[in-house]
Amino acid sequence: MKKELLMASALVSTMGAASVAEAVTASYSGSHHTGLRGTSLDTGAADSIAQVNASSFTVSLSEVTDGGTTVASSFMLANEGTTGTQSAGVTLTFSNDHKLDLINAGNAAASHDVSVPGGAGEASITVTTTNRAQTGLDFFGEATVIGVEWHSPADFLADGLKLGASFSTDNGVAAGASVKLESSWGVGATYVTSAGDTALTIGAGLAESDWKDNTLAPSTGSNGFHIGFSAVTGNLTVAAGYASGDDVDDTATIDEVQITDNTVTKVGVKYVADKITLSAGITSAQGKDSETLGTAGTLEDAYDAVDAGISYAVATGVTANLGWKDVDSKAGGVNDTAGGTSWYIGANLSF
């Protein structure tokens, strides 16, 4: 009996050692912010103040093979109020610094848009659902989970140049009650250079997607391009971006809406002085929506916003934020009362 116990103990120890030796390297990161948000709507409704809480927690997994290729993936346990686990695909980084995203890879056009400064914290106004003007520079960058995206190394083909390309396809299930993304492709580029004391970054992207309404209707395209720049001189950052194209909106509440002639212009500035960051931005967006896919809309929706903010680094990983935002909304060619102003005061803790 003693011999059997010793053998079992040795087996368990060996299995435990093997499982530890074969464990992938894991790390985690995340953030939590909490604060108060006030709103004053153009509808004339009473001003309101509400608490805002949002959290994110990401686990990153990676390991290097004997051939020098890094295999990585990640999953989110929380992402600022969204429900369910958010999981990434697999990323392969080769010894020559080329990178390949496999499964749920995304769109290369969206990977190369320029970040434009804006306000701080969570000041926001929710406009009416009939205003479908798109406000992001990558509003056209859809992709299915069955896809790949290639990332070149830095200084590819030329100093300061980085390129990307992506492709995705459908899962073979026919479109039913709502539209279905059939396929997409995208390309993007980022170029980094300097002009005197200024570091300049230029980003651009181009993408196209095919949406299917049903088996008989022709495919409807979602497409567009964006271009932007960011200039950093000392503590000052100035950035701007422009995007144009068509989009298909397929949400849980609004199905099969085509938004054509979208344009988005964003301009922002940021200044860092020791622990204090001052920022401000302007967004101007227009688009024409149609309830019939394949038919261009005629009445314009518009979204214009001005926001500003102050951030203060209280301690390592702790930032206090004060933000303000003003929104003007137009739906169906008519100025509505869905806009207003909002302020926010709160703290963000990151790890």
Q: d(Cα 9, Cα 338) in Å, to the nearest integer?
A: 69
Does the structure show a pLDDT above 70 at 9? Answer: no
Highest mean pLDDT of the ranges 78-87, 135-144, 191-200: 191-200
Which residue spans within the chain are E strands per DSSP?
25-41, 48-64, 70-79, 86-87, 90-93, 99-102, 146-151, 161-169, 180-195, 198-212, 220-233, 236-249, 257-273, 276-290, 300-315, 318-331, 334-335, 340-350
71-125 pLDDT, tens digit per residue, is 999 888 766 655 545 677 889 999 999 999 998 888 999 999 999 999 888 888 8
Helix (H, G, I), strand (E, B) or coil at 195: strand
Which of 3-12, 62-71, 139-148, 150-159 has the lowest average pLDDT? 3-12
How many percent of the chain have pLDDT more than 90? 52
Is 273 contained in some domain? yes
Rounded to two decimals, the pTM is: 0.82
276-308 pLDDT, tens digit per residue, is 999 999 999 998 876 666 566 677 888 999 999
Residue 202 domain boundaries: 96-350
Q: d(Cα 47, Cα 40) in Å, to the nearest integer?
A: 5
Q: d(Cα 266, Cα 137) in Å, to the nearest integer?
A: 8
Is 142 contained in some domain? yes
Is 67 contained in some domain? no
**Alpha-carbon radius of gyration of the chain:** 24
Is 107 contained in some domain? yes
Q: d(Cα 102, Cα 284) in Å, to the nearest integer?
A: 35
Number of domains in the chain: 1
pLDDT band at 216 (very low <50, low <70, confident <90, very high): low
Q: Are 129 and 253 in contact (CB under 8 A)?
A: yes
Is 307 contained in some domain? yes
Is 45 contained in some domain? no
Number of other residues whose CB lies within 10 A of the CB of residue 345: 18
pLDDT band at 153 (very low <50, low <70, confident <90, very high): very high
Is 239 contained in some domain? yes
Greater pLDDT, 219 or 285: 285
Cβ partners under 8 Å of residue 198, min gap 6: 231, 232, 233
Q: d(Cα 150, Cα 140) in Å, to the nearest integer?
A: 19
Summarize the confidence of residues 134-162 as an average pLDDT: 91
Identify any residues that bridge with 116 across adjacent strands, giving them in sequence order.
none
Q: d(Cα 278, Cα 154) in Å, to the nearest integer?
A: 30
Give the CATH number of the domain where residue 210 resides. 2.40.160.10
pLDDT value at position 212?
76
Is 17 contained in some domain? no
- Alpha carbon 101 to its chain's center: 16
